[in-house]
Amino acid sequence: MSTKNVSKDEGTKSTSVADLDMKLEVVVIPVSDVDRAKEFYSRLGWRLDADHDNNNDFRVIQFTPPGSACSIIFGKNLTAAAPGSAQGLYLIVADIEAARENLLRRGVKVSEVFHGAGDVHAGPDEPYLFGRIRVKGPDPAHGSYRSFASFRDPDGNGWLFQEITTRLPGRIDGTTTTFASANDLARAFRRAEAAHAEHEKRTGQRDANWPDWYAAYMVAEASGAKLPK
């Protein structure tokens, strides 16, 4: 009797890891006082998605920042991590000054806007994406990814605002564009308007096709593609 070696996948379509969506949707924040943490994240203006308490040994609270696809959870018996040990939690914003002012109005202490020291990364400051030197003020060239501000929750978990207006090439599908909020869309329109005004100055005439120009500019800016001239 002869046998034939047959792969268990034969006759079926195999799915590679690259074909599967893997969406980061929840980050656990270790806290010592659940109600205090709830008050703080409520004060940030984040959406409260859940507060489940079994009135015994388990509680989970979920918040989502405005425009974010990822949420945070904290509570009782959720993690063995030490309270305050979550550091380097980045919140991407289109206007860092506006984001900072928003927190200040809510009574949240937040650092001044800062940027990195070029190619120098070792220094005395609290570490972040570009090392341990924080230079006061936004990036002089107002480069995307380059300006930051930081704040902490009551346990010391560390958050940073990072201003991104133009993505690096390949980070976003260049054929589609989405905006997380009406505010982000409005700011993109304003940047397109300013760029289009310079475009009309160069051409010396009014561009009747400005809607298409705006659209091309906004899609290119978001995806990191070459901006229209």
Q: Which stretches within the chain are classed as H helix?
A: 34-43, 96-105, 182-203, 210-223
Q: Confirm if 64 and 47 have CB atoms less than 8 A apart.
A: yes
CA separation for the pair 85, 83 (Å, rounded): 6
- The CATH code of the domain at 87-165 is 3.10.180.10
Dihedral sign from CA coordinates of 48, 97, 159, 177: positive
Q: Where are the domains of the chain?
A: 24-83, 87-165, 182-223
Domains 24-83 and 87-165 share a fold: yes
Strands 89-93 and 158-163: parallel
List strands edge to edge, sheet with 89-93. Answer: 89-93, 158-163, 148-152, 114-115, 135-136
Query: pLDDT tens track of the chain, all 229 residues?
Result: 444 454 455 445 555 556 777 888 999 999 999 999 999 999 999 999 999 999 899 999 999 999 898 999 999 999 999 999 999 999 999 899 999 999 999 999 999 999 999 899 999 999 999 999 999 999 999 899 999 999 999 999 999 999 998 877 766 666 666 776 777 788 888 888 888 888 888 888 888 888 888 888 888 777 677 777 7
User: Where does 65-210 show beta strands of DSSP type E?
Assistant: 71-76, 89-93, 114-115, 135-136, 148-152, 158-163
CB atoms within 10 A of CB 112: 12
- Does domain 24-83 correspond to CATH entry 1.10.10.10? no
Tokens representing 209 are 């096709």
